[in-house]
Amino acid sequence: DGGITQSPKYLFRKEGQNVTLSCEQNLNHDAMYWYRQDPGQGLRLIYYSQIVNDFQKGDIAEGYSVSREKKESFPLTVTSAQKNPTAFYLCASRDRVNYGYTFGSGTRLTVV
């Protein structure tokens, strides 16, 4: 079955460390997205990419970086510059035909 795989499901980071969250899709979707969700809140867009080797900042890009070297993969790096990284991170991709979004199951990041 096609879908989006995020790994790991849970991640613990020490303060001052960079960590990379994985997102892989086999849906042949061009566009991919990273969202952040805090408890009791909606989703906020971090970065998105509409095509390989191109990406754009979303509403809360500071302290994050991304790459899009392959259509299937859109990893997110949470850098030490992100002051409050503890959150639930969601990766999504979008179908160009009916514009529906497919989400991964998320990565819960905790700073210890």
Partner 1 sequence: DAKTTQPPSMDCAEGRAANLPCNHSTISGNEYVYWYRQIHSQGPQYIIHGLKNNETNEMASLIITEDRKSSTLILPHATLRDTAVYYCIVRVPGANNLFFGTGTRLTVIP
Which residues of this chain interact with partner 1, rule CB under 8 A? 4, 6, 31, 33, 35, 40-43, 45, 48, 50, 56, 58-59, 88, 90, 92, 96, 98-106, 108
Question: Which residue, 19 or 23, has its beta carbon nearer to partner 1?
Answer: 23
Question: Which residue, 45 or 65, has its beta carbon nearer to partner 1?
Answer: 45
Find where tokens 């529906």 sit. Answer: 100
Question: Which residue, 1 or 15, has its beta carbon nearer to partner 1?
Answer: 1
Encoded tokens for 108? 């819960």
CB 99 within 8 A of CB 50: no
- Cα separation, 101 vs 78, in Å, equals 23
